[in-house]
Each structure stands twice: as C-alpha cells, then as structure tokens.
Structure 1
C-alpha cells in the first residue's frame, strides 16, 4: 500500500512513542483518502480515574461497540480498510495559541480509528452511519469524524450553516451524540480560537441537546445516511455470475468481502504482479466452476473497465466472442482469479519488513518528519528509534488491509479448504441466479442532468409561470458575471490543491485577475487552448452595456459644449485631422460591409424598441431621425440566447452551459420575452 506521510500531530498510545519529536511521531502513514474517527466515553465527573481504570472502561466499551458494528456491517463489502478501533489514553492534540505558536494538550481517553476508503466514498459515509448508531445505542458516548478535508459533515451542509461557521471556525466543533449532529457554538469574542476537544466534550455533557444543528443541516446529512438502510443498501450491490477457479470460488463462498481487495489488486497491477498472473501457482485455471459473485458497484465498474487479454499459455480458454454472456463470465473470472493470485503471491509473515513496500513508505515518512533527529545511522539511539518504529508498524499494520496482510489470510484459507464445499459449488451451478443488468454503467447526459438537479437543485431566477422580462434577464447575466467565485483558484505564488467541498464554504473568495492584454482564448505552445474567464466576462458585459448613442439635437445652444470659439476651433481641427487618418480605411470598410449586408435580411432580424422619442420644439425635421427606432439590446440578447438554446435540443452548448451555471432551469412550456408593448414568442422554452 503506497502511502503519504500523516499530517496529524496526534501521537498514538504506545509506551515507546515520543510525545513530540520535532513534530514527528509514530502515527501510521495515511493516504489522502482517509477518514479518522474518535469515540469518547461518557465524561467522567470527577476526573480522578487512573489510566488502568480508563483502559478497563474503554475495553468494555470497545467490545460492546465491536459486537454492534459486526451486526450492522455483516454483509457490507469494504473497498479498502475496514472499520477498526483501538484504545488510546495518552494521545495529545495541538492547539494554536497565536499565529506561529502551538501548545500540546492531552486528549481525553477514547477509541480511535482510521480507515482508507480508496475510490469508494460510500465507505466514508457508512462509517458516519455506524457512528450515528453507536452514539444512539450507547448513552453519553460522543463521536467525532474528520477526513482530509477536515469537518466534512458541515461541508456537506455548507448552504445552511450559521454566519459564524466556516472551515476555520468549525474546527473541532462538530460532534455526534445520541444519533444527532452537534455544532458547538463559537464564542462571539474570539472566532479564530480552536476549541479543545476536552472543552467541547465538557460543554456537550452539560447540555447534550443545546448544540444540535438545525433541521436543514441535519437533513443534509440524513439524506446521505438514508442510503444505508437495509432496503437501499442492496441497491449498491451488483451480482454477476463468473467462471472461477475452484479455490477462488470456495474462498469467496466463505468470505465474500475478499472480492474488493482482489479486484483492486488486479486493477492496480504492475509488471511484477503480471509475472504472478502468468504463473498462477496458487489458483490454476484447469479446474473452474460457475458461481454468483457479489460486487459493490464501484468495484464492478473498476473491473469491467480494466482491459486485459489473458495469456493463452497460462491455460485460460475463453468462450467465443459470439456468445457475449459466456465470454463476459469467463473474462471476469480470469480478472478475479488474477487478483487473488497477486495477493497470495505477496503474503508475508508479520516480521518480514525488508521487502514490504508499506514499511518502506512508512520509514520514508518518519525520515521526512525528522523522527530520527540528528542521530547517525547505526548509533545506539538511532537503532533504538528504529526498533520502536518497527514494533509499532508490525503491531498496527494488522489494522489496515495491506496486500501482505490480505494475502496471508487468503493462503491460510486456501490450505484449509473443505472438499465438501467445492462439491456443493458444482451442484449449485445449475441453479444460479441471473446476473444483474449492468445498464447502470451507461448514463445519458439527460440522466446525469437529472441526477445533478436532484442532488443540488435549480436556482430559480424568474417566475414559475415562464414569463420573463428581457431587461431583468440581461441584468441577471451581468450580475452573474460580476459574482466572485465560491471556489478557491490557483495561487500563482504558491500552488495549492484545495478540496472543492471545503472551498464551497469559503465565501467571497476572489478568483478575478486584472484583464490581460491578450485574446480570450489562444493556442498555447503545446497546442492546447487557454481560456481567460475575466476577458470573456468583460466582453460580455460590454456587449450587454452597449447603447445606441442619442443624437444631441436638443442642446439649448450650439456652443454650449465649448467654452469659447478658440476651444471650438481646436476641437474641430483635431477631429478633422483624426478623420483624415482613418477616413479612407473606414469608408472602404463600411462600403464593403454595406454591399454584403444589402443582400441579406439581417437588419430585419433585430428587435426594435417601440418607444419613440418625442419630437422637440425647434428640432430639425429629418425623416431618418424621425423614423429611427433604436435596437432593443435586452430583447435581442434574450431572444438570441433562447434561439441558441433551442438549436442545441437540450444538449450541452454555450447557451445551456451559461444558463445552467446561472442556476436557470429550462422547461418545455411556452415562455415569452416581454419587451415594451410587445411579446416576442419563444416557443417551448421556459426559465
């Protein structure tokens, strides 16, 4: 298991673990896909219990919770790591006192766990479901859960948080108690301070119901947790018949959950793994049986989209492609068997660390965090620290589903298989259930839009009746372009990847840069196209702000714009000189344009304003001025936008993308653009 160093500053409960070693500790290496959870027992009123008594209480609570979790997750298939808990009584947390100053304070004794969920985010939310059930069944127990994004429970409900809540002020203030989500309120006098876990638990114990979140926030979380009811949990399972070696089929009959690590091992295979697949020493292909296999949808999709052509010399004989269902069963069986073979080939004893990739990654992380300080390699102190690290790694790696750990389990099961079970599998071949349809793998654009709308809804900018005012519409476009993005962009000075879930909470985060002196889109040296959103925004707003200049015939005095005759002569001279420079180019350009447009009806396509400017007393009687009707920019903008949308037939395109980003929902009923004193019909388009 390739891992990245932990960023946590919480040492583990280990007698040999240094409490603070230049910021480094023996915390197990975790990847970015981790979810970390804490379960705190009922608060001790007198705080006089010693560590032995705390451990006794925690051990009793651990066994009770373990039995409860085993019952709830009996048929659950974990993608990577399982839900696991260990006892911690000596852990500490870091609290920021000032900008560059931290202090270490003890964490109350608790049960602690870390789970890597890999590509299946459902595991993270299933753990939240377990914590809800644990706190509901165990009075006084309080849980906390975070991931690489931090307090992801409130990030899920970012639209409904109180004004004081943001990623910084919510840190260590989100808890679960009695099956409800709690948000411990911040002090109005100090919104930047981080509340200690012990302080939060004390507040909760004094009034457990005081800090319950609003119904809107609770509903956001409950909507995700409803997926794990007994009825809906089966929707995430896909059953498929596969042609498997008898050894693989027998192991899966006993431990269906092993399908996940086997499929992941196959999908993540490397050239060394392929050597094991060509040998098939543990699961030869000669003796195979058809059996029904249960996958999570995530695992099944990964396996189906992992291309593989087995080596015929290995002994795999696949059905003809003219029998697609049989061919599918054979090829799936090959992929699953290769995954089991890869795991079995990597099985190692716990003490064998030299060739363990997980240990090497863990050791690199310790070195990078300064665990060995300035001790020279081979010195007595260095060797002692190394032994401590090895002892901790061996004791804790069983908590994580690394390949050597799973491979060892598979080999042990393979050596203890009962021949009776193999015979039963052959008998069941004739009565296997039909494979589930995998049509869910293909999602149309309409289905995707429906899913996104159901998840995030549509922001209504206009009346449900479908009527819209053209001026209001163009105003909304301008407002939309003026809005500052709610997502963090890329800092040119310090590139940082920010999770979209966290960044949606960071209001008023500016993405805008000064408009550069370059085109909106231009080919880059690698032939890719770059896009400047600010330049695009500026051009669109300039277009929307365009107005027909009014003739200034109503001036009370022909000399009112000039202070004296000298100014008038100077301005006339400047205008004349300017005209002389551009007259020839402009005339040629205008003449050419007039010739081209005279053959078209484009002039009739523009909607004109019905408002006439009243003739002023003393105004010159020019027919062209009198009959002139200015173009209605608002109506034309909206009409052209609607025409563009209709031409896309509901598909993706500039108009639909812009309208969707604005939160405008398009329907199928009739809408009309209301211009002054007229209606422009926009059939079958509604906003």
Structure 2
C-alpha cells in the first residue's frame, strides 16, 4: 500500500513540501523579520551573530511585555524566534491580529522601538497586502515605486523608514527584489537608500498615538456573571479575548450545548456576582453589538435583572442593570463555548483556563472567593463610559473645522468616536480637499503613472480630429472653478482665486462664459434656498442663513460666512463621503476607488436592524474593521 502523505504542521514544513514556493500570508496576520548586517573580521562570526540575535530577542520580548502588561491582544501577541532559512540566520515572528487592526500597528510600534535600541538591526514587516507601510504612504511615495516591484524594498532602521531604489543603470523595468538581493544591496550601497521624511511620516502616521493608546484602547465594564467565571477572569484576565471571539464567531452546532435546557454547563446561570471586566474597545464592541437570543436558562435571569415586572416603567438605572446582565450572559456563553473546545485549541491562555477550571470543579464551590474577597479586588467596581461608541455630529463638525484647540474651555469634554476615528476622518477630508483643489489636474481627472504611456501603447488606435477638438474647446481652469462652486465649495476653498477665462483658438466656437456664470449662480442660489448645500443644519440655523442670503441679494453682494462656512463645507464633504461609501453596499464604487488611490480603506458598516435576519449570527468581517 502506498504510504500516505504526512500533512505539514508548521509554516516551514508547508513551504518545504511545496518546493519553497512563495505562499501567501494568511489574512489578518502580520509577519516580521529582523536581520543583522554586522561583519565579524576576527572570526567566530556565527557564534557572535547568534548571541547578538538572542540578546535582541530577549530585549524585544521584555519591551513588549512591559508595554502590554495590562493590554489584551485580540488573538496572538508579539513574538520573536531565531530562524534559519536560505543560508540566513535572523529573528522572525508572525502575529494574528484578528479583527483588531490596531494590534498590527502596535507590532509595528514595538519593532520601530527595537530598531532604535539596536541601530545595527534592519527590520522588515509585511502582511497579506504586502508592504503595507508603503500602502499607508501611497499618496506621497515616489512615482518609480509601485506595488509590482516594492517587495523587500521597505526597511525600518534606527527608527526610520528606508526604501531600496531601483538600479538607475539597469535597462530593464525593475521588479520585486529577493530577500537575498535586498540584503546585499543594503550592505553594498547603504548610502543609496531612499529616505523621505514625508513618506516616513505618512507610513508611521498611526504610530503617533502610541504608547498612550495602549491604555486608552482598554475598556472596563461592570457585568453580572457566575462566581466561578469571575474567579477565572480574575486569575486569567486575558482569557476574555478568545472567549469573546468564540461568541462572536459562534455557529449553530456550537450553540447546541448551551441552548438545550438540560445541558450540563460549566458556568450555569446561578450564584451571580457583579464585577468589573477589562476588555479592549474592539472586544467590548463585539459583545455589545451582537444580537443574541438568550438561552432558555438565561431568560429568567435577564427578566429578574432589574427586579421589575415587564409592565413597569424602566429607568436609566434599570437599563444599566439590564445591560450588565446581557453583557454578562454573552461573555459567559463565550467562555462556555471556549472551554468546550479547549482540548483542540492552540492557545496557551485557553489551556491554562481549562486546567484552572478543572481544579475548581474538583475542589468544589468552597474554593471560590467570597463576596468580601471579591470586593478587595483591584478596580472591581470600575465602569468606564462607553460613549466612545457614539458619534456626536456637533463635535464632528468642530473636529473637522479644527476649532477644538480654541474651544478647550467648552463644556463638551469629548469628541466624536475615539482618537483613531477622529484622526482617520480628518485625514480622509484633508486628502479629498487636496484632490479637489489640485490645480495640476485637468478635465480628464486624476492622472496616474500607468496612464502616461497609454497613448504610446495604443499604436494606430483612434485618430481624433483637430476640428472636433476645437469645437469643444474650453478653459479647463474656469470649468474646474465652476464645477467646484456647483458642488458647494466656497471661494475660500478654491483658494480665493477668480480665474479669468483664456481666449480660445481663432476660428473655434467659444462658450459664453458670462452666461454660464449667471446660470451657475442661479442654480446655486436655488439649491441654497432649499437647503441642498447646507446638509443637516438645524431649522433655526438654516433660517438665519436664508435670511442672510436674502439680505445679501438685496445689497447686490454675497458675503462668505467665515469659519462656520469652512466647518460646514468639511462636515458636508465628510458626510457625503461616508454616505456614498455606505451606498456602495460593500461593492466597488467611486468613493472606495478614490480612497484606495489615496491609501485609505474604510471598514464596512454594520448591518441595519431592518436587514437583520433576526437570528443574531455574526457574519465574517473584512480585515479593516474599526473599533480600536
């Protein structure tokens, strides 16, 4: 009988079995490698090389442990190990960050800090999208750099980002570098490496909030859970991540064990205590947002949570108690699903929880902490404000208008969303405005490197008549200015320049620009009168603006409204971008395409209640999910 083929268990075995093919990195994973290019002229190079790598590895893990002492990784934490591959010896690691993209950027931050501590280190980091640092800086990268040739070209060294440029003397089109060629290039020509502060700033833009964001990304919430679970969470608080993921990715088969009333549960809904549980914002949002039909044994618990009959009036305090019971139910069900599959898990934390649970079940309820002992736990009553999940559109308008700095004395103490959402939205609006105000762009729209040679590649294609060109001749700058005014952009947003139409070629038919101007102003006046260019303004404010417009018309001049006008333009632009993206329903469209060209990817929106199937089962989310 032919011997069966053994299935590979590790990444290295998989590559070896398939002949060293370049296998695509799994989705939601970030991979990184650290190389030393130090020469050892006095012999003993291999031994010294290994010793230095081990020193760096220990220092990196200590740094990671120090920075993330109270942090909860979504799936896998930062790790490094010595690797031998293709004649190279280096440090290597892979981390699965799941739905928390911020975990990926935390890994990048740790790597950059390591490069500062050890200037002899050269570090690469990439994910399923390839060189994602260059993707992040795509708006400012040099023209010669493209996704078809950027592999192994971006490196972190001494806290900076360096790029290996193509060989200028080569007569062929540059392609991706092999790892060996990249290291050889760095050794031979370190002075030829490309470093741009502008590119570096864009690539490392998301690192500016670290390390303070490590603490800000945590959320403490009071929940009502069984005493046994409270004890396990106190002993192993990082177990909340795999438990939430089990609940978030639950399926009908796994739910059978907790939906049947006769099931023997590890955490039955009894002997409840109310304690504070530490989540990350992503984990808490995943629990909070899930619609879930309570198991039979939990329905009575939820009804008793507020201690009132269903017909009684529910107060804000009652709603808070109900929320604590619901979050506690979801968390308990997640732990139930997790320990049921603990024997098949590769997670060290899950295995430790399983062993701890076995000890508790063997020792009996007497081994669990009493109420007095629970009260002595650190932060046992801490309950953080969850308003970071809400968006205040008034605050959104101020943030986009840049007026927060001058309004520090305001009674408003928070902005819209979290810091990450605020930074991303400002970045989107800023890039869109730069895009619209690009004086170099013509009527053909944005131009890209790939299009520069299109006319040469077409060969003997279409022949456009010069007579036809003259028939449709118009001034591009004037046309662009008029279009921006129709879109609602003020003269300030168009840099306050009134461009006079240029004379066209003799013999051609000219547009009557004065008539177009009058028509445009009439359209704009009509739209403003009906509020079409002032989205979501309060009725009172809209009436004031309308009265101001009428008064200005009588005086024969139109005045701009200053800073408030700028805020409304930004607010409307941001709102239109987000609504247009949502209207694409997850498919390709103009907004996602333009944002992609700017190096920005928006997360998919949550399903509306009206489109829910009512079952509350989660759907697989894309990589770039917000919520950190």
Same fold (TM over 0.5): yes
In structure 2, the CA distance between the partners of 1:420 and 1:345, relative to structure 1 (3 Å rule), is closer
Q: Which moved more, 1:287-296 or 1:211-220?
A: 211-220
Picking from 29, 37, 54, the partner of 2:32 is 37
Distance 1:316 1:507 in 2: 66
Picking from 441, 444, 462, the partner of 1:482 is 444
In structure 2, the CA distance between the partners of 1:315 and 1:212, relative to structure 1 (3 Å rule), is same
Superposition pairs for residues 280-299 of structure 1, below 5 Å? 281-299=265-283
Deviation per CA, 1:534-593: give whole Å up to 9, x if none.
xxxxxxx9xx79xxxxxxxxxxxxxxxxxxxxxxxxxxxxxxxxxxxxxxxxxxxxxxxx
Query: Match of 1:89, SS?
Result: strand
In structure 2, the CA distance between the partners of 1:346 and 1:20, relative to structure 1 (3 Å rule), is closer
Query: Match of 1:243, SS?
Result: strand
TM-score, length basis structure 1: 0.56
Distance 1:509 1:248 in 2: 65
Choose 1 or 2 for highest CA Rg: 1
Deviation per CA, 1:453-510: give whole Å up to 9, x if none.
5223536989xxxxxxxxxx9x999967621477xxxxxxxxxxxxxxxxxx978799
Picking from 413, 422, 426, the partner of 2:356 is 413
For the 8 Å contact 2:134–2:141, the answer to whether it is kept is yes
Distance 2:100 2:70 in 1: 16
Does 1:640 pair with 2:588? no
Corresponding residue of 1:561: none
Corresponding residue of 1:21: 18
In structure 2, the CA distance between the partners of 1:429 and 1:509, relative to structure 1 (3 Å rule), is farther
1:312, distance to aligned residue in structure 2 (A): 3.4
Corresponding residue of 2:329: 334
Corresponding residue of 2:535: 651
Distance 2:84 2:450 in 1: 35
For the 8 Å contact 2:228–2:368, the answer to whether it is kept is no
Deviation per CA, 1:106-131: give whole Å up to 9, x if none.
36221222222222110110010010
Picking from 218, 234, 258, the partner of 1:253 is 234
Does 1:197 pair with 2:179? yes
1:54, distance to aligned residue in structure 2 (A): 5.8
For the 8 Å contact 1:80–1:118, the answer to whether it is kept is yes
For the 8 Å contact 2:149–2:177, the answer to whether it is kept is no
In structure 2, the CA distance between the partners of 1:224 and 1:53, relative to structure 1 (3 Å rule), is same
Distance 2:319 2:188 in 1: 64
Picking from 92, 95, 111, the partner of 1:115 is 95
Distance 2:351 2:183 in 1: 41
Corresponding residue of 2:391: 443
Does 1:301 pair with 2:281? no
In structure 2, the CA distance between the partners of 1:683 and 1:60, relative to structure 1 (3 Å rule), is closer
Does 1:218 pair with 2:180? no
In structure 2, the CA distance between the partners of 1:441 and 1:314, relative to structure 1 (3 Å rule), is closer
TM-score, length basis structure 2: 0.61
Distance 2:453 2:228 in 1: 57
Query: Match of 1:281, SS?
Result: coil
1:423, distance to aligned residue in structure 2 (A): 5.1
Superposition pairs for residues 417-428 of structure 1, below 5 Å? 419=367, 421=369, 426-428=374-376
Corresponding residue of 1:163: 143
Deviation per CA, 1:297-328: give whole Å up to 9, x if none.
11111111101232233576121372101111
Distance 2:29 2:168 in 1: 33
For the 8 Å contact 1:280–1:341, the answer to whether it is kept is no
For the 8 Å contact 2:242–2:350, the answer to whether it is kept is no
Corresponding residue of 2:296: 312
Query: Match of 1:159, SS?
Result: coil
Corresponding residue of 1:238: 219
In structure 2, the CA distance between the partners of 1:447 and 1:154, relative to structure 1 (3 Å rule), is farther
Deviation per CA, 1:382-401: give whole Å up to 9, x if none.
xxxxxxxxxxxxxxxx4xx4
Q: Which moved more, 1:634-643 or 1:161-170?
A: 634-643
Distance 1:434 1:226 in 2: 28
In structure 2, the CA distance between the partners of 1:183 and 1:118, relative to structure 1 (3 Å rule), is same
Query: Match of 1:273, SS?
Result: helix
